[in-house]
Amino acid sequence: MEKLDRKGLSESEAMPPNDYDSTNTDTVPEAENIDGYDRTLEYTPEEERAAVRRVDFFILPFIVLLFCFLQFDRTNIANALTDTFRADVHITNYHINTAQTLFIVGFVITEIPFNMLSRYFGPERFLPVTMILWGIATWSQMFITSPSGLYACRFIVGALEGGYIPGMALYISKFYINEQLGLRFACFWASNSIAGALSGPLSIGLLSLRGRGGLHGWQWLYLIEGVLTCFLGAVGYLYLPHSAAKPKTFFGRSWSLFTPRQSSIIITRVMRNDPSKALRYGKPVLPSHILQTFGDWRLYGHILSAFLSMVMITPMNTYAPSIIKSLGFTGLQANGLNSVGAIGALCISISLAYSSDRFKERGFHIIVGFLGAAAGLLWLALAPNSVGRWVLYGGVVCTQSFMGTAQAINAAWLAAKMEDHKRPIALAAYVMSIQIAGFPGAQLFKQDAAPRYKHGLITAAALVISGAAVVAAWKFLYRIFDHGDGGVETVKGRDPEQ
């Protein structure tokens, strides 16, 4: 029986010594058998930037597109509610809130199992298959005729989407060093904002098809978005490579997105930056890794702050178009205006992440994102009824422009703090905490408090401010006990600023 070290790894999986030096290529022996790794490789900064740009242009945007359709499929119920969905299916806020709760239950219970399966089969194989399946469940919602049908469909869509976000986050981390993950994770999480910006105009077009083929507008919405999801899932299965050095092969033929030298640069620089990624490269998650992850104190500040800051996300995603409509706009206008906050969120999230990577600081950037969302919630809740509709709409835009904008930085900070064998479970737990926040969030806006939902908005704002306080406390603890904002590559003796 192999002896375990203090991190729970066997001797064969133990970390490289603490005198790790990025110029000493012999210090990552575990990477020797990884396709594309070359311990003698030398390259210029220009070659490195060209290889990274290749990932930025050909891998990351496609993953963002796939994530957009996950967001479409999880939030299109909000657009359906501005049509005749309530009356046609005979549902109230109670049924909607229950359905959203069941969606979250499905999402949460599959998060860790699906992430383990994703690590075993490879996210580039497993996740496109789940995407095809939840696309089928999405277009099946066009056949809903009762609350029970709504419950079943929302649960199935949620269960099939579980594991997608942390699985793709891990896939992205195979192509970038830890110091670059803040901006790339922000681009990935910005899919929420991009989808929010596009969902309004898209829903206007789809809902306007009402009456065509004897279908309601909301039926066209579910049908077309679900079919597009299935199509993109199939394309993703064919397109996404196993790694920079290992493209997909079909019928004995393959086509690589990278030259052999570019693939070697991408793989080698990642392993030199964080040798822990070599230890479990291509290996499954073990049950012992789950225990080790949940036994690590670093995890809890990130998941608690994510939970507190995201209680607002489910009610705002579900009812924002209805709130805007209640201000005196038409249903189509409300769907269009609902996109403005998403555009703001896209700009803010990318700007925060760029600044965070540029200045190598995480905590204060996360706090700024949290407090901006709290300000929007209080604006909408406390503004007098006598103010104009555009002033109240400004509160909706401010909330939407900041909510969730710091989650990518938080996730990148967590990923950098965890050794690679803990990252799959840590990122799954992080996403689970965001989804679990939907349980209280789904019950926050009561029908008798419509259309302003003042009490729910104030409660959500208090929770977000509490989340900011947790981040501040964890930043202090990291500064005292764990090398500040730096990740595991700092512990190996390498200064991330060099």
Q: Is residue 129 part of a domain?
A: yes
Q: Is residue 493 part of a domain?
A: no
Please give the model's pTM, rounded to 2 decimal places. Answer: 0.79
Output the pLDDT for position 330: 84
User: 20-24, 65-69, 186-190, 461-465 — which is least confidently predicted?
Assistant: 20-24
Instruction: Decide if 258 contacts 54 (C-beta within 8 A).
Output: yes
Output the pLDDT for position 496: 36
Q: Is residue 10 part of a domain?
A: no
Q: Is residue 362 part of a domain?
A: yes
Burial status of residue 304 (CB atoms within 10 A of its CB: 0-12, 13-18, 19 or more): middle
Mean pLDDT of 430-455: 85
User: 8-22, 181-195, 284-298 — which is least confidently predicted?
Assistant: 8-22
Has residue 240 got a pLDDT over 60? Answer: yes
Distance in angstroms (rounded) separating the CA atoms of residues 333 and 331: 5
For the chain, the domain total comes to 1
Has residue 18 got a pLDDT over 50? Answer: no
Q: Residue 489: pLDDT band by 50, 70, 90 thresholds? A: low
Q: Is residue 1 part of a domain?
A: no
Instruction: Decide if 431 contacts 404 (C-beta within 8 A).
Output: no
pLDDT digits (tens, 9 = 90+) for 102-140: 998 999 999 999 988 998 899 999 999 999 999 999 999
Domain housing 98 = 20-485
Output the pLDDT for position 175: 95
Output the pLDDT for position 21: 39
Instruction: Decide if 268 contacts 37 (C-beta within 8 A).
Output: yes
Has residue 281 got a pLDDT over 50? Answer: yes
Q: Is residue 249 part of a domain?
A: yes
Q: Is residue 9 part of a domain?
A: no
Has residue 14 got a pLDDT over 50? Answer: no
Angle at 152 (CA atoms; ends 146, 158), nearest 5 degrees: 135
> CATH number for the domain including 75?
1.20.1250.20
Share of the chain above pLDDT 90, in %: 57
Distance in angstroms (rounded) separating the CA atoms of residues 461 and 458: 5
Mean pLDDT of 317-329: 86
Strands (E) in 226-300, as ranges, are 249-250, 253-254
Q: Is residue 457 part of a domain?
A: yes
